[in-house]
Each structure stands twice: as C-alpha cells, then as structure tokens.
Structure 1
Amino acid sequence: MTEPGKGQDGAGRTDERDHPHAGHSHDAGHDPEGHDHAGQDHAGHAHSGHSHSGDGHAGHAHAMPTSLRAFAVGASLNFGFVIVEAAFGFFAGSLALVADAGHNLSDVLGLLLAWGAAWLARRAPTERRTYGYGRSSILAALANAMLLLLGTGGIMWEAVTRLGDPEPVKTGIVMAVALVGIGVNVGTALLFMADRKRDLNVRGAFVHMVADAAVSLGVVVAAAVMALTGWLWLDPVVSLMIALAIVAGTWGLLRDSVNLAMDMVPAHIDRAEVEAYLAALAGVSAVHDLHIWALSTTEVALTAHLVRPGAGLDDAFLAEAAAGLKARFGIGHPAIQVEAGTVACALAPADVV
C-alpha cells in the first residue's frame, strides 16, 4: 500500500509512501507471499497484475483532518470544566450536576483517546507494521464506548438510590454551572465543525459535544423547575435521563467500533456496488475473493481477484481501477490481483463473502 507524504524511518529506510504507484503491477513470476490479505492460498493463480495502490492523490496523509491542536484544546477545556462542575455539584448537592460532570469526564477521555490515535496514525509504516498505526483510531473508539458505558452504570445506580430519598439542591449554583457547561461544549464542538463531514471520528466528537450542550441545557431547565416547584425528585430523574441518553448514543459507537475491529465492511460502503463496479471494468469476466475492511476510522482497504482472459499486464487498467475505487467509494488502499482465468480457482466457503 503506498501513499505520498512520508519520508524515512528512524533506520534511514525510505518509506514506501514516497512512491505512489496506483496500478503498479508485478509480473507472473512475482512471489505473492505477503500480499494475500484474505488469508487464502492461491498458489496456482497467475499474479499478472497485483495492484497495491495507496491513494494516488498527492495530498493524502494518514493524519486525521482535524489538527491535533483541536483535540488538545478541546480536552483541556472539558477537563477544566469537569473539575469545576464536580466540585460545585457536590457542594450544591446536585446528582444531576455530578452526573453531567461524569459524562464530561468521559468526553475528556474520549478526546484524549482520539488525540492519541490521531498522533499514532501520523506515524509511518514499518517493516512489521506495514499498515502503520491507523487502526488505533478504531481501538480508541471501542475503548471510549466501553468507558462511557461503565461510567453510566454508576450514575444510574446512584440515581435510582436517590429516587426514594431525594436531597435538597442549591438550584442557583446548578443553573450557573450548567450554563457554563453549555458554553464549553458548544465551544468545543466548534473546534470540530469544519472537518466533521470528512472524518468519522471528528463527526463523532462534534455530535457528542452538541449532545452534551443539550444535556447541560436539560440540567438548567430541571434546576429552574425545582426552584419554582420544590420537586426534589427531578434531580435524580434528570440524572437517569442523562444516563439513558449516554447509553443510547454510546451503543451505536460500541456497535460500529466492534464491527470495524472485526474487519466488517464499513457501513458507508455498499459491497455489492463495489463488486458491480469491478465487474464492469474493461475485460473483466469475473470477480472473486473481494474483501473490504477499515484500516482506520478514515481509511478503507480492499483486496480483489479480477479475471481478465487474455488481457495480460496492463498498468493503465490498474491505475484506472484504483482511481475509480477512491473517487466513488473512498477506498484508498486497493490490492488487485488480475488473473487470466486459465486455471480453475477452487474457492473454499470462507472465500465467498
């Protein structure tokens, strides 16, 4: 897999990303070892055109589109607010405020995980980590989801306990702190607004911050109602609502991150459409061993065997296929093996996706 924008590693070796070669082909005598991403043995296949296209676009890089500075500023703002909100929550006797502080702490952890993953994703591939560290962003999303769910369980337990014995709440302090929280969350969301449409992790951070602002608004409204009515039970009820909102939002994150970690086809890609595109390429009579998976939350890889009887080596064909996969589906790491179709391929059941 090749990509531009990388130099040499620490040992002085030239990083292969400096030489983008979308459509690069190897002759039939090329040893296929190390290129069978699907894990099958195709010893009898002619490697008449094995494309290892990175991106083909000179500006592509493994970095997340949002700068590391945005994650740093966002994490710092939220961490500072967590300390303030938790302190005032305990002082005011508001479980809702403490629950929101716990939620914001999970945001800090999530931002730190995304920050670390973004930094790791910038590191060049090595001889043993040939895809680099892009998958760290998937692991970060998975860890973030698990932390959110664990923290939410504690909030729900405490809220249920307090329902039977609600405690007085200093509503004025609660409203003031929650209003500050709205400002912090909205400000953090703005840091990710520009790149939210180009990166799944950034969009997740943006939506999370906007949701947090809505949760803080709910705390303000609850405190105002308690001040007017004296309904102390509203505090634990709002805490439960916050916890349920966290679970609802986190469940999708957990599901998606597990799916990506298990090499499932990314949700935004239609495998049937990709197969149809490859099958419609000039001279292709069959497509098999098609696998599509995520290298990170922003990068997608593909391996496929294309049968082109009598076509021979064709670098232009490979370049066209790679460019089309990138432009139409956002697949920047295709590895295409072209076969003449003269040897029957006995597919094991696991080969057919």
Structure 2
Amino acid sequence: MHAHHGHDHVHGGTRAFAAVTLINLAYTALEAGYGFATNSLALLSDALHNLGDVLGLGLAWAAAALARRAPTERHTYGWRRATLLSPLANALLLVGFSGALAWEALRRFGAPPQIPALPVMAVAAVGIAVNLGAAWLVRDGHAHDLNRRGAFLHLVADAAVSLAAVLAGAGMWWLGWSWLDPATALLVGAVIAVGAFGLLRESFDAAMDAVPPAIDRREVEAFLAAQPGVSAVHHLHIWSLGAGEIAMTAHLVRDGSAGHDAFLDRLNHALDERFGINHPTLQVEFGTACEHDRHVRAPHGHRH
C-alpha cells in the first residue's frame, strides 16, 4: 500500500525566486560597473560572487518551476528531484568562483592599487540592503527545503560580504590601507568556500539518495518493528524525493491476522506525523513463503 498524507506542499515559490533573481541581476550589473570604473577588486569580487548567486538562483527558480510539473508515464515522480540537483550545481559554481577570487586577491597583494573608498562603501552598502531584502523573500520554508536553503544562505552570505566591503572602504578612506581591497576579496573567497562546502556535501548526499539528515534510520526501523503484529523489518530505504517530500519503502513481516488495510493506513499517518515521511510504501509479508525472510541481512547487502 502506498499513501502520502498531509502534504499541502507548495511546489515552487517561483515568484519569490523570480523576484530575487532579477533584483540580484540588476545589482550585480551596477556593482560590476562601479568595480571596473574604480578598479576595486573588492567590488568586482563581490559582483562575481553575486553573478554566481544569480546563476544559482536562476537554477533554483527553474528547479522550483520544474517541481510543479505533473508526473508522466516516464517520470512517474514528476520533476521534484530538480530541487535536489539545483543546490548541487549551485555549490559547484561557488567552489569555482571562490578559487578564482582567491587567486586574483593573492596576485594583487604585492602591489595593491589605490582605490577610491567612498564609491566602494556606497555600492557595498546598497548590496547589504539588496541581499537582506532578497533573503527575506525566500525565507519561508528554508529550514526544510534544500533548494530554498541554498538560495537563502547565498543571500545572507552576500550581505555579510557586502558589510566587509563597507568596512574595507572605511579602512582605505580613513587609514589609507590599500591592501584592504585584495584582503576583502580574499575574505569573500573564504566565505564562499566555507558556505559552499556544507551545501555541496548535503546536496550530494540528497542526490545520492542518502537518508535525510533530520531522520534517524534506526529510530524508524525500531518504530516499525514495534508495531502490533510485526515480527521483522527489512529492505528499509529512506530518501528525499524533493523539497519537503521524503519517501520510504519497507517490508514488514506480520502475522496473518485481518486488518492490514487499517494497520497500513494508521502507520502511514504515523510516519508522516512523527518523521515527516509522507511517501511511504509498505509491503506486508506473512513470513512463510518470502525469499527475503530466509536471508535477512544488514541494510547494506540484500539477497533476492
């Protein structure tokens, strides 16, 4: 029996992604223009970072739109998985950009150019407002939606980087420290790399059908084994289908008493309420003729 209860999931939030993408694209163009005009690596690096975010947000926007497509004969789950692949591509982009920024910043340390500080401060201050406002637009559900979380973390990190650029501009203006420009760019690269690593690891795990980090597989197995009439649990698999949707399959060895339909319906509701597993597929076996039951092994190796 396959059931999925309690998901009034909002696939998409495409309007929020669209607005955030367009706002960031406009600001990136503005920042890059001032960066070239003033020869400021701090502004150019932040603009490059923002360009990476625009690409990432564009991917998240497209993924949210794809996730709304209905299942087909070929894609029976629909396109929900796009919300897992988007953060993976997003993280890879960030890793590449961080390396490029660090290389250019180190090259400039030997002879940092003189940078007009006030334009750097003004443009970076606009960036703080833009990024915090954009993060506010995608804040809903980011704790449980990897796609939104990737966008949200990018935008908050951008605001912090813009703040660093403002402080660097202040240091150049008041103290004449021209080395703060490449130092800020190097800091940008570090911020990108640190943020990207966690997102890369989590999105890679999701793409490889790992058990979602919020779920303890052993706890789910113990919960299933404790159900009335259940004598064994095997072939338990838990993975993410997409934003806010968790699938599970399991074989339950249960005695031949009646009432399996009511048992499964109650268990499906319980899995959703307790663990957030809203796509459970449960197979009930009587344990007398099933090949699996004679060769129950650990989760990492099954005999069929």
Q: Which bracket does the TM-score occupy, shorter chain normalised?
A: over 0.9
Equivalent in 157, 164, 168 of residue 222 of structure 1: 168
Distance 2:143 2:194 in 1: 22
- Do the aligned partners of 1:312 and 1:340 also contact (CA within 8 Å) in 2? no
C-alpha deviation, 1:90, in angstroms: 1.2
Deviates more, 1:328-337 or 1:192-201: 192-201
- Do the aligned partners of 1:88 and 1:173 also contact (CA within 8 Å) in 2? yes
Deviates more, 1:186-195 or 1:126-135: 186-195
In structure 1, the residue matched to 2:2 is 52
In structure 2, the residue matched to 1:265 is 211
- Do the aligned partners of 1:188 and 1:209 also contact (CA within 8 Å) in 2? yes
Distance 1:283 1:139 in 2: 40
Which residues of 2 match residues 166-205 of structure 1 at below 5 A?
166-205=112-151
Distance 1:316 1:190 in 2: 43
1:105 aligns with 2:54: no
Equivalent in 64, 78, 82 of residue 132 of structure 1: 78
AA at the equivalent of 2:2? H
Distance 2:266 2:211 in 1: 22
In structure 2, the residue matched to 1:71 is 17
- Do the aligned partners of 2:125 and 2:166 also contact (CA within 8 Å) in 1? yes
1:315 aligns with 2:261: yes
Distance 2:49 2:191 in 1: 10
Give the 3-state SS of the residue equivalent to 1:75 in structure 2. helix
- Do the aligned partners of 1:62 and 1:121 also contact (CA within 8 Å) in 2? no
RMSD after superposition: 1.5
Structure 2 gaps, min length 5:
none
Distance 2:171 2:107 in 1: 22
Distance 2:209 2:98 in 1: 28
AA at the equivalent of 1:140? S
Name the % identity: 52
- Give the direction of change, closer, same or farther, for the CA distance of 1:258–1:336 in structure 2 (3 Å limit): same
* Count of residues in Structure 1 that have an aligned counterpart in Structure 2: 298
User: Normalized against structure 1, the TM-score is what?
Assistant: 0.81
Query: Between Structure 1 and Structure 2, which shows a larger proportion of helix residues?
Result: 2
C-alpha deviation, 1:199, in angstroms: 2.5
Which residues of 2 match residues 211-290 of structure 1 at below 5 A?
211-290=157-236
Which aligned segments of 4 or more residues in structure 1 are displaced greater than 6 angstroms?
none
In structure 2, the residue matched to 1:206 is 152
C-alpha deviation, 1:308, in angstroms: 0.5
Structure 1 gaps, min length 5:
1-50
